[in-house]
Amino acid sequence: MAIWARIKQLDLKQSFILGKTFLFKPGLLLPTYRATKNTVEICNQLFGKAHHQDNKTNAFRHALWNFLIAEASLPQCKEKNKAIAWAKEITDLHEKLSPNPKLPRAMDLHNNKIGRKLFEQGVTSTKIIEKLEAMMNEAQQINSTKEVIEGKLVFIEKCLNK
């Protein structure tokens, strides 16, 4: 997921929606970008390209991404609940602007929520990777949105590389 490449793929309407989102919260642009870049770098280092599929490593990435956005935006937002709300807003927007089928979108939204919940619960940035790796071992494979289990990472496809 090259960040700028993904942004360049947006059509005019999508670009306007994204721009408008940051127009009202310009101080969150850089922390969000850095958290996104950091997430991709960590996942590339841990999983190679495997995290671009709908597998456990993708679940890890989405949870980590939300955690890191909330953490990075906390100094600007000043309150934990506002940082969590921002992480939800921007990652929900990503899912809205991404051409994902229903089940992968539901999977991503669920795993995003897990990352925000871990931030809310006070998991530290020094422990988040360890925590998510442990959660990956307990991740639930799903075939429908009805199979999603609260508090567990979910995935669709088995990972061939991990």
pLDDT tens column, 65-79:
999 999 999 999 999
Any idea which residue has 């442990």 for tokens? 134
Q: Which residues contact 6 (CB under 8 A, 6 or more apart)?
A: none
- Identify the CA nearest to 58 among candidates 109, 5, 131, 92: 109
Cross-strand bridge partners of residue 155: 141
Cβ–Cβ under 8 Å, residues 115 and 66? yes
Show me where the domains of the chain are located.
49-162
pTM of the predicted protein model = 0.89
Task: State pLDDT tens for residues 20-73.
Answer: 778 889 999 999 999 999 999 999 999 999 898 899 999 999 999 999 999 999
